[in-house]
């Protein structure tokens, strides 16, 4: 509290010297509170208090209905680790999904950015086209692609006779997995592309010209100059895609609903069902705390790793 008031004193004091120090201090605190207070209040009530309650409830038998909430210690966590294979399956699915979709959507996004960074006549139009899927929410996208996989692919299969379009995409575990990856990449690539384009435009053209005159090939330019220069964009894009992929819910629920046979059930869906369908709130919160820890570790490790490389480069 002390430090922040200091800056106000000179201004006010020089004007109204008669006002006592105490009053100035109080006024400073009040204005600070008036400006920062509302944001802080909403943030505390909506996120921090429930988060802390969650940590407590994860050690209880809370079922959401009964008013008796019993302290059960680590029982929920033990239950999760000992006999909840479905939860682990959902973790494995989500992790695999995250790796596949992060790699694919960043490859496509970066590729599109390189393409549109050339002097194409249609670059603005194409940029709009590639970005459109991103403004549609995951839920509606999932429904749209359910139709594409079921009816659209069948129609394309009949026209082209390509066997890949004749697979039962959402009915088989492997293809359902890749189905979600495809839709996720379709949605996110345009977003990543926009970030990569912004970074590419910041690359000094003279530098590239100089290297080209020295006989560097396009590939060398890309790997030795462009990519090292725009590593911060990779940090951002990886951070965004990792956290989006790991928390996938809407798209997952409308595209496959977790099926076939729960093979594509994400952690977010598992937690949702545990709490709101099985009414095991205590167990659900324990799962959600574990989920939080994993997300926090993943994203911190990733940011640290790419940041480190940024410094080295």
- Minimum distance between the CB of residue 138 and other proteins, rounded to whole angstroms? 7
CB of 236 to other proteins, least distance (A): 5
Among 26, 74, 155, 207, binds other proteins (CB under 8 A): 155
Q: Does 133 bind other proteins (CB under 8 A)?
A: yes
Query: Taking Cα atoms as reference points, which of 225, 145, 238 lies closest to residue 186?
Result: 145
Q: Return the number of the residue (176 or 182) whose C-beta is nearest other proteins.
A: 182
- Of 14 and 83, the one with the shorter C-beta distance to other proteins is 14
* Those residues with Cβ within 8 angstroms of residue 50's Cβ, 6 or more apart along the chain or in another chain: none
Lookup: tokens for 224:
């030795």
Query: Residue from 107, 132, 162, 301 that binds other proteins (CB under 8 A)?
Result: 132
Token pair 């208090």 in the structure block, residue: 49
Q: Which residues within the stretch 54-113 sit at the binding site for other proteins (CB under 8 A)?
A: 54, 57, 64, 112
The whole-angstrom separation of Cα 191 and Cα 183 is 14
Task: Give the span between the Cα atoms of 125 and 128, in whole angstroms.
Answer: 5
Which has the closest alpha carbon to 193: 110, 267, 118? 110
Q: Within 251-270, which residues bind other proteins (CB under 8 A)?
A: 254, 267-268
Closest CA to 102 of 240, 247, 283, 252: 240
DSSP state of 276: H
Residue 126 or 227: the one with the smaller Cβ distance to other proteins is: 126
Q: Which is nearer to other proteins, 34 or 68 (CB)?
A: 34
* Residue nearer to other proteins on the CB measure, 152 or 177: 152
Torsion of CA 248, 252, 258, 263, to 10 degrees: -70
Segment 169 to 228, residues that bind other proteins, using CB under 8 A? 186, 191, 194-195, 197-199, 205
Q: Give the footprint of other proteins on residues 274-293 (CB under 8 A).
A: 275-276, 281, 284-285, 288-289, 291-292
Tokens 């200091």 correspond to: 6
Which residues in 15-44 contact other proteins (CB under 8 A)?
15, 31-32, 34-36, 38-40, 42-43
Q: Is 176 or 289 the residue whose CB approaches other proteins more closely? A: 289
Nearer to other proteins, 103 or 114 (CB): 114
Please tell me the distance from the alpha carbon of residue 59 to that of residue 70, in angstroms, as a whole number: 9
Burial of residue 62 (number of CB atoms within 10 Å: 0-12, 13-18, 19+): buried
Least distance between other proteins and beta carbon 285 (Å): 5
Task: Give min distance, CB of 272 to other proteins, in A.
Answer: 7
Integer Cα distance of 264 and 255 in angstroms? 10
Query: Stretches 70-78, 80-88, 170-178, 296-304: which one binds other proteins (CB under 8 A)?
Result: 296-304
């Amino acid at each position: 509290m002390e430090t922040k008031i200091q800056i106000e004193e000179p201004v006010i004091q020089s004007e109204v010297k008669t006002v006592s120090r105490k009053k100035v201090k109080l006024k400073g605190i009040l204005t600070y509170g008036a400006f920062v207070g509302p944001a802080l209040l909403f943030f505390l009530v909506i996120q921090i208090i429930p988060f802390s309650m969650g940590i407590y409830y994860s050690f209880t038998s809370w079922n959401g209905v009964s008013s008796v909430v019993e302290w059960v210690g680590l029982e929920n966590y033990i239950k999760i680790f000992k006999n909840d294979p479905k939860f682990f399956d959902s973790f494995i699915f989500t992790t695999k999904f995250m790796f596949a979709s992060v790699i694919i959507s960043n490859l496509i996004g970066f590729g599109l950015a390189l393409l549109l960074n050339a002097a194409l006549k249609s670059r603005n139009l194409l940029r709009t086209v590639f970005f459109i899927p991103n403004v549609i929410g995951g839920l509606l996208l999932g429904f749209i692609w359910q139709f594409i996989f079921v009816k659209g692919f069948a129609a394309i299969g009949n026209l082209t006779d390509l066997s890949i379009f004749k697979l039962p995409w959402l009915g088989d575990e492997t293809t359902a997995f890749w189905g979600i990856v495809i839709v996720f990449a379709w949605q996110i690539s345009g977003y990543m592309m926009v970030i990569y384009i912004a970074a590419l435009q910041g690359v000094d053209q003279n530098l590239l010209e100089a290297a080209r005159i020295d006989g560097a090939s396009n590939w060398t330019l890309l790997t030795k100059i462009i990519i090292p220069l725009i590593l911060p964009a990779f940090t951002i894009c990886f951070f965004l895609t990792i956290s989006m992929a790991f928390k996938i819910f809407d798209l997952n629920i409308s595209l496959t609903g977790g099926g076939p046979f729960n093979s594509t059930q994400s952690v977010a869906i598992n937690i949702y069902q545990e709490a709101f369908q099985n009414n095991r709130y205590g167990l659900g919160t324990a799962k959600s705390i574990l989920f939080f820890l994993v997300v926090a570790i993943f994203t911190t490790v990733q940011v640290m790793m790419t940041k480190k490389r940024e410094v080295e480069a």
